[in-house]
Amino acid sequence: MIRLDYLANPARFMRFSAALLPWAAALTVVLLAAGLYMGLVRAPADYQQGESVRIIYVHVPSAWMALFCYSIMALAGAVGLIWKHPLADLVAKSTAPIGTSFTVLALVTGSLWGKPMWGTWWVWDARLTSVLILLFLYLGYMALMRAFDNPERGMKAASILALVGFVNVPIIKFSVDWWSTLHQPASVIRPGGPTIHASILWPLILMALAFTAYYVWVLLLRVRGEIIANKIRVIRLKQVHGG
């Protein structure tokens, strides 16, 4: 098991991530190809939703990843605040744009599904509204991080916002249970087990794994980019002060 204090050293992380990157990339491609094939070709059309049901193979995993990424961002922010772990701050910073992309994808695909099913692109449903708030939290995090001249102060303020905003994650998860909403209740992750047929469940699982592998792949690339950028800044500062 890789310890966080071991990866706190940038050189060690660069070596570790370099070894992991090709595996994450390959896993993403294989799982994504398998998930799309199973969902778009092999899975049957729904008896009520027809071919529109295929949107869920992108929508549902995107929604899962939007929550997962925010949870990782908040957790990394907490580790950075409490233990001053340099890698944790970079993970939180690098996760934000990835989570934002998944949230936008979930909202867009949800609207595409909602039009034929509900007769409208958007309703102020508890689930939809709370996911929209999640998008604003992501955007606010990234804006707040850049709102200070001192990067450390910006990172600290953004991490606090991420932790406060984490209360929205369980609200999104349980909104369909707490309030009367148009959005259907959980059918995969629930106490009694999945309620959907295996022909739909397996493509969903494959797509969720593909999106997770994609997150790991892009996260490693972004963290490596941040480490390189920090090294360049340090070199330039030395050159300025040395001159």
User: Which residue from 209, 183, 176 is spatially nearest to 57, judged by alpha carbons?
Assistant: 209
Domain span including residue 113: 22-242
Question: For tokens 């397996």, what's the residue?
Answer: 202
| Cα–Cα distance measured from residue 108 to residue 114, given in angstroms and rounded to the nearest whole number | 10
| CB contact at 8 A, 175 and 181 | yes
Residue 49, token pair as written in the block:
């939703």
Question: For tokens 């999945």, what's the residue?
Answer: 194
In a domain, 3, yes or no: no
Q: What is the pLDDT of residue 186?
A: 63
In a domain, 10, yes or no: no
Q: What is the pLDDT of residue 11?
A: 85
In a domain, 144, yes or no: yes
Number of domains in the chain: 1
In a domain, 211, yes or no: yes
In a domain, 27, yes or no: yes
Burial of 146 (0-12, 13-18, 19+ CB in 10 A): exposed
| CB contact at 8 A, 177 and 190 | no
Residue 198, token pair as written in the block:
């295996």
Q: What is the pLDDT of residue 192?
A: 63
Per-residue pLDDT of the chain (243 residues; tens, 9 = 90+): 445 556 667 888 999 999 999 999 999 999 999 999 999 999 888 777 778 889 999 999 999 999 999 999 999 999 999 998 889 999 999 999 999 999 999 999 999 988 888 888 888 989 999 999 999 999 999 999 999 999 999 999 999 999 999 999 999 998 887 777 766 666 666 666 666 778 889 999 999 999 999 999 999 999 999 999 988 988 888 788 765
| Cα–Cα distance measured from residue 64 to residue 1, given in angstroms and rounded to the nearest whole number | 26
| Angle, CA of 232, 233 and 236, to the nearest 5° | 85
In a domain, 5, yes or no: no
Q: What is the pLDDT of residue 1?
A: 44
| Cα–Cα distance measured from residue 111 to residue 23, given in angstroms and rounded to the nearest whole number | 34
CATH code (residue 139):
1.20.120
Residue 103 to residues 16, 182, 228: CA-CA distances in angstroms? 29, 19, 28
C-beta atoms surrounding 241 within 10 Å: 7
In a domain, 171, yes or no: yes
In a domain, 8, yes or no: no
